[in-house]
Amino acid sequence: MPLSIRIISSPDGESIAQWNQAFPEDGGDIGRAFGATLQLNDVSREISSTHAMIRKTSRGYQIMDNSTNGLYINGSDAPLGNGNQSTLSDGDVLDIGRYRLLVSCFFPESAKAQPQQHHSDSSLLGDDPFSTESTPFIKSIPEVDEAPEFTISTTDVVGDDPFANDASIKQEQAPHFNLDFQTDEDDPLKGSDFRASFPNHEVMATPSFAQEESPVKQSQFAITEFKKHEQRIQECTDKALEMALARLLSDISPNAMESMFDDLSGNGFWSRKPKYWDMYKRYFNRQVENRDWQIKFQAYFRDAMRMQKNFEGDQ
């Protein structure tokens, strides 16, 4: 099912034949007229006969405003405008009259991996050194004809210690500073205690720690920025959840429920007082079965998240 539209909010007193409507592959239309893909009953006639048209293009599904009173997308204050088009995305919310619709569209063919194209024409590769994989990297390995000879020394075994030789080589390669002067007059630290703090033997050079501190500072900065980003996301999510829950609680508040039940039962002179509790139980079971409250909360949460992102962008 590539495209489907679900009614998440409807006017009071309007009969809904189908809450979720699947659209054909090439699209459809939304309106009040009989025969529309998604027909919306409207006694007040705020909705046009063909209020909006949806067509599939190379860029996805496009919706065009064909109404008199306007098509509003994602809670926008300004209508799309008669004759104007906009791209539909999964999760978009459409306001048509007093109806609120939730869009669900998914393209399974776009999720498939593109097959890799292999070109056998060698002219396209040009002088690419990696174009021919048949050429071995090492053509030949020289063979060793003579076997290595090993000799064992029976004298001066300590002198042949390889670790002692390595230590002497390191001592020869290590930089040293000679603090001895030819005469006492050449010594600028003559007669001071500072001279006695340095030994007369060679002084090994100490490595610099500037390069070792740089990666540590970079990692600390990255961790700090990541924590700040996580904190901002958490604050936006908490604020969006609070806004979505407030809207949902407003929809199911006692005043809203009582007003809706009064409209459904009628306010005639001879009409009996409605049994609110029985009506609420039936209404609750229907909402749970149709998952209307869950869908409303998801739509309200997405609207709140968009508002939070737009607010951060303005700052």
93 domain-assigned: yes
Name the burial class of residue 287, with classes exposed (0-12), middle (13-18) and buried (19+) by CB atoms within 10 angstroms of its CB.
middle
55 domain-assigned: yes
94 domain-assigned: yes
201 domain-assigned: no
pLDDT tens string, the chain, 315 residues long: the values are 478 999 888 888 777 878 888 899 888 999 988 888 988 888 888 899 999 999 988 888 899 999 988 999 998 888 998 999 998 888 889 999 889 999 988 654 444 444 444 444 444 444 554 555 544 444 455 555 555 555 555 555 555 555 555 555 555 555 555 555 555 555 555 555 545 555 554 445 455 554 555 788 888 888 888 888 888 888 888 888 989 898 888 888 888 778 777 776 766 555 667 787 888 888 888 888 888 888 888 888 988 888 888 877 766
198 domain-assigned: no
State how far the Cα of 202 lies from the Cα of 174, in Å rounded to an integer: 9
The CATH number assigned to the domain holding 26 equals: 2.60.200.20
286 domain-assigned: yes
- Close Cβ partners of 1 (under 8 Å, ≥ 6 residues apart): 22, 106
CB 66 within 8 A of CB 89: no
Domain boundary among 77, 108, 139: 108
168 domain-assigned: no
Domain that includes residue 305, residue range = 216-314
State how far the Cα of 96 lies from the Cα of 49, in Å rounded to an integer: 12
State how far the Cα of 100 lies from the Cα of 93, in Å rounded to an integer: 7
Report how many domains make up the chain: 2
Name the burial class of residue 38, with classes exposed (0-12), middle (13-18) and buried (19+) by CB atoms within 10 angstroms of its CB.
buried
| Whole-prediction pTM | 0.38
Tokens of 192: 């001071």
First to last CA, the chain: 40
76 domain-assigned: yes
Tokens of 156: 């001066």
Domain boundary among 89, 108, 127: 108
Domain boundary among 90, 108, 126: 108
